[in-house]
């Protein structure tokens, strides 16, 4: 609970009680889902889904998929052709300033198509108008991309910017657990059919 300075009206106590009540309510909702018959019916699907996309042990990369963006210069090439009399870091420069810029440009070019295809997929949900809300997301900011590369992916294989797989984004909100399960299954089915620009689920 964030600290709020005490005052004569006791707003800090009221705020703390409101947060606790909200957390308790959310916990009850989550518990109710896990104990419901609907969850137990689909529990195997949920666990297998997680294993399929989260436990492969291989980090998804932009340069490891078909038609992905490959580095135009290898580390060996840069070592051989850069001046030895400078403190300039060619690996970081190409990775963060060149490869990432190319990736951002490509993402900007496909964003409209991705948003349209993603919304089209979920609009086929049997209860779309009542149970599903699709929200277009903004492209991840360049500065946020650079920060993520340098703080989370710094130990990954060059070019580390290739580890960014969430630049183009959207949000899908489901009204209940069953609607979400139907949405996940629908999404998987459409991706496997290769009917849109979305070709693979990586995580």
Q: Give the range among 75-89, 97-111, 141-155 with minimum mean pLDDT.
A: 75-89
**Could you tell me if 146 and 140 are in contact, meaning their C-beta atoms sit under 8 angstroms apart?**
no
For residue 85, the model assigns a pLDDT of: 73
- Per the model's pLDDT, the better-predicted residue between 53 and 80 turns out to be 80
Contact 136, 115 (CB under 8 A): yes
Please say if the pLDDT value at position 24 is more than 90. Answer: no
Lowest-pLDDT range, 70-74, 107-111, 181-185? 181-185
Question: What is the mean pLDDT of the segment spanning 86-106?
Answer: 93
Alpha carbon distance 48, 123 (integer Å): 25
Q: Is the pLDDT of residue 101 over 60?
A: yes
Which has the higher per-residue pLDDT, 98 or 6? Answer: 98
Average pLDDT over residues 122-132: 91
Name the pTM for this structure: 0.74
CA nearest to 163, candidates 175, 148, 173, 174 = 148
Region 19-40 average pLDDT? 69
Lowest mean pLDDT among 75-89, 96-110, 150-164: 75-89
Residue 4 has pLDDT above 50, yes or no: no
Please state, in angstroms and as integers, the Cα–Cα distance from residue 24 to each residue in 3, 12, 18, 20, 175, following that order. 19, 18, 10, 6, 20
Confidence of residue 46 (pLDDT cuts 50, 70, 90): low
Tokens of 76: 């060996």
Q: 9-23, pLDDT tens digit by residue?
A: 455 565 566 666 666
Taking alpha carbons only, the member of 104, 119, 75, 96 closest to residue 168 is 104
- pLDDT over 70 (residue 1): no
Q: How many CA atoms lie within 13 A of 152 on its CB side?
A: 12
Q: With contact defined as beta carbons under 8 Å apart, do 199 and 114 qualify?
A: no
């Amino acid at each position: 609970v964030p600290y709020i300075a005490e005052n004569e009206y006791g707003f800090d106590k009221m705020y703390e009680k409101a947060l606790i009540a909200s957390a308790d309510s959310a916990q009850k909702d989550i518990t109710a889902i896990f104990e419901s018959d609907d969850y137990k019916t689909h529990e195997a699907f949920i666990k297998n889904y997680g294993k399929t996309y989260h436990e492969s042990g291989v980090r998804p990369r932009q340069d490891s998929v078909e038609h992905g963006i490959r580095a135009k210069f290898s580390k060996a090439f840069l070592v051989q052709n850069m001046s030895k009399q400078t403190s300039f870091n060619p690996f970081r420069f190409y990775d963060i300033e060149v490869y990432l810029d190319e990736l951002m440009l490509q993402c900007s070019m496909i964003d409209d198509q991705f948003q349209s295809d993603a919304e089209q997929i979920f609009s086929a949900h049997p209860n779309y108008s009542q149970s599903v809300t699709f929200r277009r997301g903004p492209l991840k900011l360049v500065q946020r991309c650079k920060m993520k590369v340098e703080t989370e992916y710094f130990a990954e294989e060059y070019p580390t910017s290739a580890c960014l797989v969430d630049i183009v984004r959207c949000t899908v909100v489901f009204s209940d657990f069953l609607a979400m399960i139907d949405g996940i299954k629908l999404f998987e089915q459409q991706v496997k059919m290769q009917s849109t620009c979305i070709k693979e689920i990586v995580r």
